[in-house]
Amino acid sequence: MPMKITSYSIFLCFFLIVSCAPQAELVRTKSDLSDIREEVKATSTRIQEIQKRLNTVEANVDGTVDVQKNMADYGAKSDQLATDIQLVQGKLEENNFRIAELAQKLDDRSFKITELSAKIEELEEKIKVLSAGTGTVKTIPASANSSPSQSSKIEPSDLYRQAKNDFDKKDYDLALAGFQNYLARFPKASQADKAQYWVGECYYVKKNFDKAIDAFSKVITSYPNSDKVAGAKLKIGYSYLNERNNSKARDYLNKVIKEHPTSKESALAKDKLKKIGR
């Protein structure tokens, strides 16, 4: 009996050692993610500074006597500022993409650590039974094995990627089920806000506009800091247009313009308002 306990103890130590590796990767990934977020913050500040410069140029033009000359200067400066903004926004988008990739890796590392922890807990339970002198390993109830590692080995990033691939292939029913499954199993994962947005898109393309509005509204309320909020507001406006509720459509389109003035969704909202009238 003592020899059996020693074997399980060695086995347990093995799993503890193995678990340290993904934890170390997790720490490094978190550090990389923090660095990129700081870079994104600095880039956002740069965009705001450029916008202030643009506003200053506009103010100077408004107060000038020689309008024609200053308009030419304004045009040159405005073009340069527009170029600067495009470069900075491009860098911001690149950083956001890198953050999304790192966040998905973080999800997967956390998932693997959870799997290892579940295995270690199972081994500890078996060791306790052997230490009690029963000589047999007690069967652990099914409820104790209901962790993600027992139900399925699929990682969060794989599940999200498969659902997005189904959407891109226009298999909207399958994509909808995939995104809903992702949200049910990994409600706090890094891509949860995007999965919720794509649930709305699935309903939108299926012309189920009531459910689309509900899904997009959840993006706004549950993930207020998500970069999908502007898109969610825009699609709510579009959904109301499809329901011939122009009043509410205008409200949301104007919200996009007012609350997200530098976004691409703002430009789309302006174009739509020109067609339906403000």
Domain range summary for the chain, segments of one domain joined by +: 1-132, 155-278
**pLDDT computed for residue 52 by the predictor:** 72
Question: pLDDT tens across 231-254, in order?
Answer: 999 999 999 999 999 999 999 999
Hey, is 56 helix, strand or coil? helix
Q: How confident is the model at residue 75 (pLDDT cuts 50, 70, 90)?
A: low
**Torsion, CA 162, CA 227, CA 266, CA 235, rounded to 10:** 50
Cα(26)–Cα(194) distance, integer angstroms: 22
**pLDDT computed for residue 19 by the predictor:** 56
65-79, 114-128, 131-145, 162-176 — which is least confidently predicted?
131-145
Q: Say what percent of the chain tops pLDDT 90.
A: 41
**pLDDT computed for residue 162 by the predictor:** 96
**pLDDT computed for residue 80 by the predictor:** 65
Q: What is the mean pLDDT of the chain?
A: 75
Question: pLDDT tens across 42-74, in order?
Answer: 776 777 777 776 676 666 655 554 555 665 666
**pLDDT computed for residue 146 by the predictor:** 45
Question: pLDDT tens across 142-183, in order?
Answer: 444 444 444 456 888 999 999 999 999 999 999 999 999 999
Those residues whose C-beta lies under 8 Å from the C-beta of residue 216, and which sit 6 or more positions away, are 197, 200, 232, 233, 235, 236, 239
Higher pLDDT, 194 or 4: 194
CATH (residue range 1-132): 1.10.287.1490
Those residues whose C-beta lies under 8 Å from the C-beta of residue 255, and which sit 6 or more positions away, are 233
Other CB atoms within 10 Å distance of the CB of residue 262 = 13
**pLDDT computed for residue 3 by the predictor:** 45
Same fold, 1-132 and 155-278: no
Is domain 155-278 classified as CATH 3.30.1380.10?
Answer: no
**What global pTM score does this model have?**
0.55
49: amino acid identity, one letter: E
